[in-house]
Structure 1
Amino acid sequence: MTMVRILDTTLRDGEQAPGFSMTPEGKLRMAKALAALNVDVIEAGFAASGQRDADAIAEIARQVEGPVICSLARATRGDILAASAALAPAPRRRIHVFIGTSPLHREFKLHMSREKVLENIRTAIAYARGFTDDVEFSAEDAIRTERDYLVECLSAAAEAGATTLNVPDTVGYTTPDEIYDLFRFLTANVDCSDETIFSAHNHDDLGMAVANSLAAIRGGARQVECAMNGIGERAGNCALEDIVMALKTRADFFQAETAIDTTRIMAASRILAQITNTPPPRNKSIVGANAFAHESGIHQHGILQNRETYEIMKPEDIGLATEAIVLGKHSGRHALAARAQALGYVLTGEKLESAFTAFRTVADEVGIVDTARLLALLAEQESGRPQRLWSLSKVDIRAPVSSKSHPVARVELEHGERGRVTDIASAPGALDAAFAAVSQMIRVPARVHALEMQYIAADPEQPASDGQGANVLVEIQIEVEGEIFAGRARARDILPCCVSAYIDAASNAEAVRAVRGSFSAGSRAA
């Protein structure tokens, strides 16, 4: 097996993309998550871009052990000096020097001749080698650089002391066949030692960053530069989770591997989402919410027999403990019967048909049928009595006059057996206060783990009576005694929608605990 190094540029290329800015504290937290992943190199930032970035790099260099810590630098003495100073505390450090080499960059950005760019490469790499033996060179916009000239540039960098030669597709322009052929050409023609590492850095403008990186590996690349969740300039970079799991899942084909601890992937993805306030799309490969979820009845039937019928990876491989079966309007009888049995209800024959008919009615109305709703449906089928869940009647927020006081929430809930229940709570935030009041009433102490909100605007061609006509979809995860429970709600206004989603999640936690309690009681009785 060929070993492929992973250089993670989440904190540099990823962080400089619009919408993904991170605080120094967030950068340090993410760097520690990347170290736990066992990435080979962390590109911690661009020291010369400002003191704040330089300080963040220095703090990571001081506190993060394991990976090589790297800073980007233009091919200038000032940039290289700034990178060296920021990296000084790191026991293992790399200076990553770059300059544009394509005709476009030479003429319009640098205003340099081919000879002048070559001179800058030699001078900058030699200067960087005075600070560290680990120097990487990137020929920016390499894909659109003349092949013979690209060979000259990389050969000059290697002669001056660069130990890693990066060939970036800066604008996401190339294709897998092209980049495979290019790396085969470069590894055969660049004048460098056998220890020199060729690296690939691909952007996703045409949606081929991962495919291009895999093709580059087949062509001879032994390092891939990538970012968690695929974040980065414009459409993003090659996604770390995708390239790593592709090599792991298809090791038979690529005959290559990484040192990544894949069981840490999901944790790193979630940490990045929290830091940037940007979760990956639901359908994102590997780390998206739907990556290991199945609602189609045909798929669910297969999964219940053998997960490998519709899954090529185990969720446990990326550190994800998940229930693969999502009960919704596309689910079939097999999935319903299996989930019901796990909750203590045996459904067969007419009983299954009756329950399935009722289930489809609920699924058509709410979309996803969670544990609490399913338990209510099953109990109603068994007892013949309607089972009403907790629902929000009213929420009032009293904002404090004093800046030292906290908001107070008064929440009113309805329940099928307990009737109308009201409670109040105070917390630093209005939503926190409302959540606390709900927890007191449902008797489920919880902490919000994640909250995703979508404000869905109305169709402009269909004016609403209130002038907006929009609604809000909230999906929330809460942590109860170390376990994660999900809830969702759709409403016209943000505050009640968030509270309703919290009620949904807390109701799921309450339902699961009740089922476990009945199982335990049954075991003791037996």
Structure 2
Amino acid sequence: MRKIIVLDTTLRDGEQVPGAKLNLYEKLEIANQLKNLNVDIIEAGFPASSAGDFKAVEEIAKKVGDKVMITALARAVKSDIDAVYHSVKHAEQPLIHIVLGTSDVHVQKKFRKTREQILEQGVEAVKYAKSLCPNVQYSTEDASRSDFEYLWQTIEAVVKAGATMINIPDTVGYAVPEEFGELIRKINERLKNLNPDVILSVHCHNDTGLATANTLAAIKNGADKVECTINGIGERAGNAALEEVVMGLFLRKDYYQATTGIKTTELKKTSRLVSSLMGLDVQVNKAIVGDNAFAHSSGIHQDGLLKSRDAYEVIHPEDVGVDDMEIILTARSGRHAVKNALAQVGFTNYTDEEFEQIFAKFLELADAKKEVYNHDLFHIVQSTIRRDNAEGPELKDLYELADMQVVINNNFPSASVKIKKGDEILTASNVGDGAVDALYTAIREATGVELNLLEYKLNSISRGKEALGRVSIKVSRNGKNYSSKAIDTDILKASALAFVNAVNMAVVDEMVSKREQAVV
């Protein structure tokens, strides 16, 4: 089975997204995580563009380039090639990446030169790069819109000049899978006859949503290497998403007869890091790494999953670093899902009539608040069938936001909260770096639950009238992560409710664990 080389260009093509500029330390953090992910090559930047980018590439080569090949982009000019070489030379395996267009649009309109002039420029650039570094990649920009015979003439010439990798970009997302696959097949056939040691690579953009499909079609037709970005970020509509290409091969290695060396359990962690540092949210329904990628809210799907997970799950969440699939309790959930949720939190001793009362109350609450959490089930059960000897945790153990006040100013943003726990009222006030930080610090102090905030998001829904707060927390005493959501017309209240919901999830989990241990 072929092993496909994975080049990650998040720090070069990905950083070209407007507003996604990273500083040196953020680039190093991402590069280290890409190393943990076990990518084969990191394209660390465009060093000729600025002194800052040169320094970042240089530091990545020094600190991450012990086991990962490091490259950076150069135009086919001597000064760019020098900048790449002097920044990547500190890596154990440096690679110079040269790009020059081959389509008539680029040759005639962008460069305003002849085909012969561009070909000669590319050859001279490769020869010069080869005199500095043994590994040289040549990218035929806009290859998918190029005349094939001129494209091949260019490839043949730069290979003879010393190029060790040939990259075929679909620069503007023009290609379709069948056509792109055939292009790669023809090039691969000729390239292997010319020099079987040269690596054939592809770099696909997502302008029409086909970047992953085109990349996989290229692999099927002989491509040895793929260039991708985390979360599919990049110019315009982005690049082929690394996680999609990798898991496409993972799931259908029987079809592609190819695999990668990527440590797939690091995918979700890498996605979150890139999203956080670049300030680019991942769409919730994004394949593999979206928040809803392994979440199920349809009653039909939930019933099928609870009977057999392979009914609706072809990739296991733990394979990509997600703890487990998530069954979201909504008004669309069926009786099977609700019974399963009740059992998970310790409620199993009820009659059929009592369950119908619970289910009716559940639907009423689901219509009102859209999503129902485990701690909400306690309220439902206690208000319907609670008996002196009923099993299950007590409501007195759960927290409820009773009141809150936030003062926003430039110097000392502060928050005061009143939290209800059973008949007890807990209060706390604190300051923070901002309104949300002050609010969460006060809630943490009032509840006394030691936890760290891992992720916080706020989105507008319902045409801007309501805010959706999302949080992920890690609880110190059990080391587990919990994620929760809440909706309110007040953005700060939505944030606070989401945080309290996450705390209650941790409390419920610990109570259930204690009961299970007691039974054992």
TM-score range, shorter chain: over 0.9
The 8 Å contact of residues 94 and 136 in structure 1, kept in 2 or not, is answered as yes
| Deviation for aligned residue 1:269 | 0.9
Deviations 1:346-403 (A, max 9, x none): 15522222211111111111111112212322333331799695024221327575xx
Contact 1:444 1:510 (C-alpha < 8 Å) held by counterparts: no
Distance in 2 (alpha carbons) for counterparts of 1:77 and 1:326: 57
For 2:236, give the aligned amino acid.
R
1:142 and 2:143 are equivalent in the alignment: yes
Q: Per-residue deviation at 1:471?
A: 2.8
Change (3 A) 1:83 1:237: same
Q: Is the 8 A contact 1:442 1:507 kept in 2?
A: no
Letter of the 1:326 partner, please give it. I
Answer whether contact 2:419 2:426 (CA < 8 A) is retained: yes
Q: TM-score, normalised by structure 2?
A: 0.93
Deviations 1:453-485 (A, max 9, x none): 113474xxxxxxxxxx73322111111122122
Alignment gaps of 5+ in structure 1 = 459-468
Aligned residue type for 1:295:
S
2:202 alignment counterpart: 200
Name which of structure 1's ranges 87-96 and 339-348 shifts more when overlaid on structure 2. Answer: 339-348
- Give the C-alpha shift of residue 111 in structure 1: 1.1
1:412 matches 2:418: yes
Shift of 1:57: 0.5
1:45 and 1:287 map into 2 onto residues whose CA distance is 24
Of residues 212, 216, 219, the one that matches 1:217 is 219
Residues 177-206 of structure 1 show CA distances to partners (whole Å, capped at 9, x for unaligned) of 101111111122347311111111110111
1:472 maps to which of 459, 467, 473 = 467
Aligned to 2:303: 301
1:336 and 1:89 map into 2 onto residues whose CA distance is: 58
Q: Which runs of 5+ in 2 are unaligned?
A: 389-393
User: Scaled by the length of structure 1, what TM-score is found?
Assistant: 0.92
Query: Does 1:179 find its partner at 2:184?
Result: no
Corresponding letter in the other structure for 1:202: C
Name the counterpart of 1:381.
Answer: 384
| Alpha-carbon distance in 1 for matches of 2:257, 2:517 | 49
Q: 1:272 aligns with which of 271, 274, 282?
A: 274
Does the 8 Å CA contact 1:329/1:367 hold for their aligned counterparts?
yes
Shift of 1:421: 3.6
Q: Which secondary structure state, in structure 1, belongs to the residue aligned with residue 227 of structure 2?
A: strand
SS at structure 1 position matched to 2:17: coil
1:463 corresponds to which residue? none
Q: Name the aligned partner's letter for residue 94 of structure 2.
A: R
Q: Does 1:429 align with 2:431?
A: no
CA 1:288–1:335 in 2, change beyond 3 Å: closer, same or farther? Answer: same
Q: 2:482 aligns with which of 472, 476, 485?
A: 485
**CA offset digits 1:397-448 (Å, max 9, x no partner):** 27575xxxx5432222345522x44221233433222212212222322221
- CA shift, 1:274, in A, is 1.4
Rounded to whole Å, the distance in 1 between the matches of 2:2 and 2:51 is 39
Distance of aligned partners of 1:57 and 1:360 in 2 relative to their CA distance in 1, 3 Å threshold:
same
Q: AA paired with 1:439?
A: R
8 Å contact kept, 1:68–1:92: yes
Contact 1:180/1:218 (8 A) holds in 2: yes
Q: Is contact 1:408-1:430 (8 Å) kept?
A: yes
CA distance in 2 between counterparts of 1:168 and 1:399 reads: 50
Paired with 2:417 and 2:31, the residues of 1 have a C-alpha distance of 41
2:354 to 351, 358, 364: 351
SS of 1:130 mapped into structure 2: helix
Task: Decide which of 365, 368, 374 is 1:365's aligned counterpart.
Answer: 368
Distance 2:402 2:109 in 1: 61
How big is each residue's C-alpha offset from its partner over 1:316-365, in whole Å with a ceiling of 9 and x where there is no partner?
A: 11121124322111111111111211211115522222211111111111
Aligned 1:436-515 pairs, distance under 5 A? 436-456=441-461, 458=463, 470-481=465-476, 482-515=479-512
Instruction: Please provide the CA RMSD for this pair.
Output: 2.0
| Cα 1:137–1:348 shift into 2, 3 Å | farther
> What is the SS of the residue equivalent to 2:292?
coil
Is 1:27 the counterpart of 2:27 in the alignment? yes
